[in-house]
Chain A
Amino acid sequence: MIEVINLTKRYGATVAVDNVSFDAKAGEVLGFLGPNGAGKTTTMRILTCYLSADGGTAKVDGYDVFEDSVEVRKRIGYLPESAPLYTDMGVIDYLKFIAQVRDIPKSQRSQRIKDVVDICGLEKMIQKDVGELSKGYRQRLGLAQSLIHDPPILVLDEPTSGLDPNQIIEIRNLIREIGKEKMVIFSTHILSEVSATCSRILIINDGEIVANGTPDELAGRARGEEVVHISIRGPREDIEAKLEELSLVSDFKRVKSDDDACAYQIVSQKGQNTAEELFHFVVQNHWSLTELRQEAISLEDVFLKLTGNESATQPTDV
């Protein structure tokens, strides 16, 4: 449904989007993940025909974003970052305006407006002016605006930024709900957000795609190692000396130590039953175990690995 090939965009000397290629199919919720200034917004702006590119092509539903921009725009609902809206308009007037420009037949307009107001939970705000709305409600109105023509593709630029935790959860649920029927592309720099909502993740750094895969696949990439958190009661020097000798421990780090117990973070190779082995290790030495848990390797680790200073610069598909 969306096909992007070698897209490049420069602002003067800086390359904002560098040879980006990806595609997305209907029914996918695609998350753009990346640090600030990675090129997420620029990519979205090109897809929504707000900016032109310096090279490459992008097709939406078979229409080229540069050649058939009006056709592309008809198929996309777009919520720009921080939901810019006309503050001097009434909420209902604003939706009417968008509905008219979106070519929704007159007879259906009030029904469609009612629908999106329901979906986005704006019933109480309908009589107000846009300027009176709180940030969360503006975000919802922006979302309502992007949904009004029932587009097959929804592009949302940081839809949850600046919202409180409750609102974030609501918007996420909304995205997941909408994503069942439509294709949704949204950007964020919050990691938990993508794993909670997306079916596929694109990690963008410095204008390049550094990873492309499902959340599980990406997390799996970092799972070559295992991390176990363990807390042992016993003499510290002794424990550490023995840990040093233990072959399955490739690295350990003391995270806490007091009179009661010492806590360690232990890194080992995957597939060695580290937790179990460590349990036996503690028992054999007649210490007591106060805590033992396997730490999940998160997307966060993948993200840091890919976008950090020693980042992989080759785009890799998993």
Chain B
Amino acid sequence: MNNIAAIFKKEFRSYFNSPIAYIFITFFLALSAWFFFRGFFLVGQAVMRGFFSWVPWIFLLFIPAVTMKLWAEEKKIGTVEILMTLPIKDYEVVIGKYLASFCLLGVTILLSLSIPITVAYLGEPDGGPILGGYIGLCLMGGAYLAIGMFASTITENQIVAFILGIVMCFGLLIIGEDIVLFNAPNWIVPIFSYLGLGAHFSSILRGVIDSRDLIYYFSVIGFFLYLSVLMITVQKWR
């Protein structure tokens, strides 16, 4: 626990010691607010569906940018050599780093609460879908982060980690979308629609938090964290 806390603290501070955190938060808030308010007054309804339907796509670009440095940078400048010879278990480092990136995401999501506050001020929104939407954002963002971190363990080049992260997240997102499902062979459709990141998000978005959706997101996160640990271990055998 102590080790995870130490890694967490180091990583979280490092986000705020570099411009990454500020750029991420600013751009995310600006972009999501623009996407939201663009249609909000036209529709004239106190709902946040528009916002929640855009965010998975915004995340797709932003989250790999948050995770790309987690391992790639350490490998590039060699600090991983000190880090991995400290008396820490590999999984503790992975979890510490993951939690740090998750908390950066948490801070960002917290700051975006200005949108529902505005909506509540202007109208009488239904709380359920908004609450569900925010929980969904955390889960979905968490899954993206785990995938992005795994991408970062593969390479020592941050740009490669970034692009790989986007590609992997996009892959997992698109397979659950209608455009793929319509064209996929029949037998694969249920598998794809279950594995798709977006489908579970939209069911949470309705305000219904189903345990199956929770299990899905937690398994995706767990699976990619496990892959990261595996990758780190394998690299000792290079």
The residues of A with any CB-CB pair to B shorter than 8 Å are 11, 45, 48-52, 70-71, 73-74, 76, 78, 80-82, 84-89, 93, 97-98, 100-103, 142, 145
The B interface is mostly helix, strand or loop, or mixed, namely: helix
Given A88-B17, A89-B10, A100-B2, the answer on whether A50 and B77 have CB atoms closer than 8 Å is: no
Is B112's CB within 8 Å of the partner chain A?
no
A87 — which chain B residues lie within 8 A by C-beta?
77
Q: How far is the CA of A87 from the CA of B79 in the complex (A)?
A: 10
The size class of the interface chain B forms with chain A is: 20 to 34
Quote the shortest CB–CB distance from A144 to chain B (angstroms). 12
Question: Once the chains bind, are B78 and A84 in contact (CB under 8 Å)?
Answer: yes
Quote the shortest CB–CB distance from A131 to chain B (angstroms). 10
> What 1/0 flags go to B153-167 for Cβ under 8 Å of A?
000000000000000
The residues of B with any CB-CB pair to A shorter than 8 Å are 2-3, 5-7, 9-10, 13-14, 17-18, 77-82, 84-89, 236-238
A52 — which chain B residues lie within 8 A by C-beta?
236-237
Question: Once the chains bind, are B78 and A82 in contact (CB under 8 Å)?
Answer: yes
Question: Once the chains bind, are B14 and A103 in contact (CB under 8 Å)?
Answer: no
Which residue in B14, B85, B88, B238 is a CB contact (below 8 Å) of A89? B14
- 17 A-B pairs, CB-CB below 8 angstroms? A11-B238, A48-B85, A52-B237, A70-B88, A70-B89, A73-B85, A76-B85, A80-B78, A81-B78, A85-B82, A87-B77, A93-B13, A100-B5, A100-B6, A101-B3, A102-B87, A103-B2
Question: Once the chains bind, are B77 and A101 in contact (CB under 8 Å)?
Answer: no
Which residue in B3, B17, B236 is a CB contact (below 8 Å) of A50? B236
Question: Once the chains bind, are B236 and A98 in contact (CB under 8 Å)?
Answer: no
| Residue in chain B with minimal CB distance to A51 | B236
| Residue in chain B with minimal CB distance to A88 | B17
Which residue in B14, B78, B80, B86 is a CB contact (below 8 Å) of A98? B86
B77 — which chain A residues lie within 8 A by C-beta?
84, 87
Q: How far is the CA of A142 from the CA of B82 in the complex (A)?
A: 9
Question: Once the chains bind, are B87 and A70 in contact (CB under 8 Å)?
Answer: yes
A100 — which chain B residues lie within 8 A by C-beta?
2, 5-6, 9
Q: How far is the CA of A142 from the CA of B78 in the complex (A)?
A: 12
A-B contacts besides A52-B236, A86-B14, A89-B17, 13 pairs, CB < 8 Å: A45-B81, A50-B85, A70-B87, A73-B85, A73-B87, A74-B87, A76-B85, A84-B82, A97-B6, A100-B2, A100-B9, A101-B86, A145-B82
Which residue in B17, B79, B87 is a CB contact (below 8 Å) of A101? B87
Q: How far is the CA of A190 from the CA of B110 in the complex (A)?
A: 56
Q: How far is the CA of A101 from the CA of B81 in the complex (A)?
A: 15
| Residue in chain A with minimal CB distance to B20 | A88
Q: How far is the CA of A102 from the CA of B82 in the complex (A)?
A: 12
